Amino acid sequence: MSSTPFTLTAADLGTPIAVTITLDGAPICTLDLGPLGCLLYEWSPDLDAQLFDPNGFAITASTCAAGSECSVGRQETLHAIPTLPGTYTIRVAPYAGDPNLGKGGSFSIDLFHGPVGTLPPPPPPSTVHVGDLDDTSALLAAGWRAQVRILVEDQDQAVVAGAIVTGKWPNGTTGTCTTSASGRCKIGRKLARSKLSIVFTVTKVTSAVGAYKPADNHDPDGDSNGTKITLVKP
C-alpha cells in the first residue's frame, strides 16, 4: 500500500479537489474465446484508491469498479470538496480479487485543486401584463353596455388567475375585476344610445405572481395596444 499526503489550508476549503491515479502496466485477456479472440480485458496491475481527511476518515474512493472514469481500467479517480484544513492522504493499494490477486505495480498521481464554479445568475423576477383586450359590448333595452374583456398573463405568456385589474373611463370613474382561472375578467358600464363609443384604459394590475409591467402589454388581434381600447356601440 502507498500513502501520499498533501495539506490544505482554510483558504482551500469549499473548492473541489480531484485526484487521478494512472497505472503503469498493460491490458490482459481475462476471457479468451480461442479462435474468436479475447472478449474481455482487465488492466494489470489493478489498484484501488481512497482519500482520507485529516481525522483519518475515508471521504471518497475510486469508482472504477462501478464503471465510471476507468479509462479501460488504467485510471482511478477521486473527487471531494474538503471541509477541514489539515493533511489529507491518498492511499493506493492492489486490488485483492481476480485476475491480479493483489499484484502491485507502479503508478503516477495528479492532484487538481480548482475554484468553485460560478453560480448561474438568478432568474428575473416574475411579472404580469395585459395579454389581450376585447370589446364585448352589448345593446340593452335602454342604451348599451360598454364592456371590455381583459386577459392577464405572466412573463411566459401563461394566464394568471386572481389578478385584480383596475381601469378608468374618460370621466375619471374607475372599474375593477378579478381574473378567473382562464386569466380573464370583464369591466363595463351602462351608456346612453346617443353615445357611440368610449375609451377604456387599464391603469393597474395587482397579482401575487409578480409586479405589473405595462411595457409588456399587447393585443394579438390588434384591436387595442393592450392598455387602451375603444369600445363601440354594437
**Torsion of Cα atoms, 207 then 209 then 211 then 215, to 10°:** -100
Report the first-to-last Cα separation within the chain, whole angstroms: 92
Q: Assign 66 to helix, strand or coil.
A: helix
Q: Is the pTM of this model over 0.85?
A: no
For residue 130, the tally of other CB atoms under 10 A from its CB is: 26
- Statement: residue 66 has pLDDT above 50: no
- Statement: residue 101 has pLDDT above 60: no
pLDDT in tens, 144-199: 999 999 999 999 999 999 999 999 999 999 999 999 999 999 999 999 999 999 99
Sequence length of the chain is 234
Phi, psi (deg, nearest 5) at residue 181: -60, -25
Domains and CATH numbers, the chain: 2-113 (2.60.120.380), 127-232 (2.60.40.10)
Q: What angle do CA 94, 97, 102 make, to 5 degrees?
A: 35
Rg over alpha carbons for the chain, rounded to the nearest Å, is: 36
